[in-house]
Amino acid sequence: MREVAEYFIENRDLTKEEFRELIGCAEDPETVRELANEAVRIRKQYYGDGVYTRGLIEFTNYCRNDCYYCGIRRGNLRARRYRLTKEEILECCAGGYELGFRTFVLQGGEDRWFTDERTADIIRAIRSGYPDCAITLSMGERSYECYRMWKEAGADRYLLRHETADEAHYGMLHPSEMSLAVRKMCLYDLKLLGYQVGAGFMVGSPGQTADCMAEDLVFLKELQPHMVGIGPFIPHHDTAFAKEPAGSVELTLFLLSVIRILLPKVLLPATTALGTLDQKGREKGLAAGANVLMPNLSPLKNRKQYELYDNKICTGEEAAEGLKSLKKRVEQAGFRLVTGRGDAV
């Protein structure tokens, strides 16, 4: 194993330069194995063999943003848009609760039809209907006041990937009206308000270098999020990045191990994007240190429309109805699905 990896395992911390060197070890099989072993050991120490599940409700694909990588960006005039009604969202929750889910994740594009108040009303309805469940939001950037209103309405967690912590790289992925500084400020606001916060980034997005990823790790160390979502970039045919290569599954797995060691108690999903590029991607994610799965609870009729990237899996075992076979797969991989809110320890 490379020296920098040994040092990392011992100290669980590195400088940016050292992180860059560590990322350079992603091609060294022995280092990859040792980091995965250490990541699994740490995950076991805090979470045993338990894997948490979250029911993902993709409730709107309208979006005011124009992120270059994303299939539902506003500039994609070919996307067929939909938004769920409050009743439909509550039906998703009911179905999910029946299946055993105790966390609901409301994710969508930045759709201002869902005003601060309208969204708060939906959160209150879920909160009163499901007092034993956690409510996670993933709705992009809003004001401090809005985040506060939603917290008071009953939201517990918020997922807002920072996408890349490198200023120049952020500018390659987003139009100039968006900024890394605002994204980061939202994350700090959410933390201040007492949310369990999730940051994260895509692996292999166009223009990303080892230096960018080192900066991502430095930022995660500084932010100390409760959750980190990372997955490979996958091109979408109606975006400017249609012809770009997808990110690497192996590098994603390597970074999952690194993040588990860096933030031992973090909630770390094996993501849909990982499962999309590799049939066994999510099992491999668990074996690399992940401990969360997020099956899809969205209404079947809308699932294909929430197309962030090409070939996004949405009707197989990753879907909520496939929970039984998912349970089997997880057990075959040596883990066990746990019901419950699944808060960070």
Residues in contact with ligand SAH by the rule CB under 6 A: 69-70, 107, 109-110, 138-140, 160-161, 163, 202, 231, 233-234, 236, 273, 308-309
SS3 sequence, the chain? CCHHHHHHHHHCCCCHHHHHHHHHHHHCHHHHHHHHHHHHHHHHHHHCCEEEECEEEEEECCCCCCCCCCCCCCCCCCCCCCECCHHHHHHHHHHHHHHCCCEEEEEECCCCCCCHHHHHHHHHHHHHHCCCCEEEEECCCCCHHHHHHHHHHCCCEEECCCECCCHHHHHHHCCCCCCHHHHHHHHHHHHHCCCEEEEEEEECCCCCCHHHHHHHHHHHHHHCCCEEEEEECCCCCCCCCCCCCCCCHHHHHHHHHHHHHHCCCCECECCHHHHHHCCCHHHHHHHHCCCEECCECCCHHHHCCCCCCCCCCCCCCCEHHHHHHHHHHHHHCCCEEECCCCCCC
What is the closest distance, in whole angstroms, from the C-beta atom of residue 130 to ligand SAH in the complex? 22
CA 107 to chain CA mean position, Å: 10
What is the closest distance, in whole angstroms, from the C-beta atom of residue 225 to ligand SAH in the complex? 13
What is the closest distance, in whole angstroms, from the C-beta atom of residue 28 to ligand SAH in the complex? 26
What is the closest distance, in whole angstroms, from the C-beta atom of residue 100 to ligand SAH in the complex? 24
What's the residue count for the chain?
Answer: 345
Give the nearer residue to ligand SAH in terms of CB position, either 5 or 313.
Answer: 313
- Distance from C-alpha of 218 to C-alpha of 72, rounded to nearest angstrom: 29
Give the nearer residue to ligand SAH in terms of CB position, either 5 or 284.
Answer: 284
Give the nearer residue to ligand SAH in terms of CB position, either 43 or 236.
Answer: 236
Q: Which residues of 95-123 are buried (b: 16+ CB within 10 A; e: fewer)?
A: bbbebebbbbbbbbbbbeebebeebbebb
What is the closest distance, in whole angstroms, from the C-beta atom of residue 75 to ligand SAH in the complex? 13
What is the closest distance, in whole angstroms, from the C-beta atom of residue 309 to ligand SAH in the complex? 4
What is the closest distance, in whole angstroms, from the C-beta atom of residue 277 to ligand SAH in the complex? 10
Give the nearer residue to ligand SAH in terms of CB position, either 138 or 302.
Answer: 138
- Distance from C-alpha of 57 to C-alpha of 37, rounded to nearest angstrom: 33
- Distance from C-alpha of 71 to C-alpha of 83, rounded to nearest angstrom: 16
Give the nearer residue to ligand SAH in terms of CB position, either 205 or 291.
Answer: 205
Give the nearer residue to ligand SAH in terms of CB position, either 19 or 69.
Answer: 69
Give the nearer residue to ligand SAH in terms of CB position, either 14 or 137.
Answer: 137
What is the closest distance, in whole angstroms, from the C-beta atom of residue 57 to ligand SAH in the complex? 12
What is the closest distance, in whole angstroms, from the C-beta atom of residue 160 to ligand SAH in the complex? 5
Give the nearer residue to ligand SAH in terms of CB position, either 42 or 67.
Answer: 67
Give the nearer residue to ligand SAH in terms of CB position, either 34 or 140.
Answer: 140
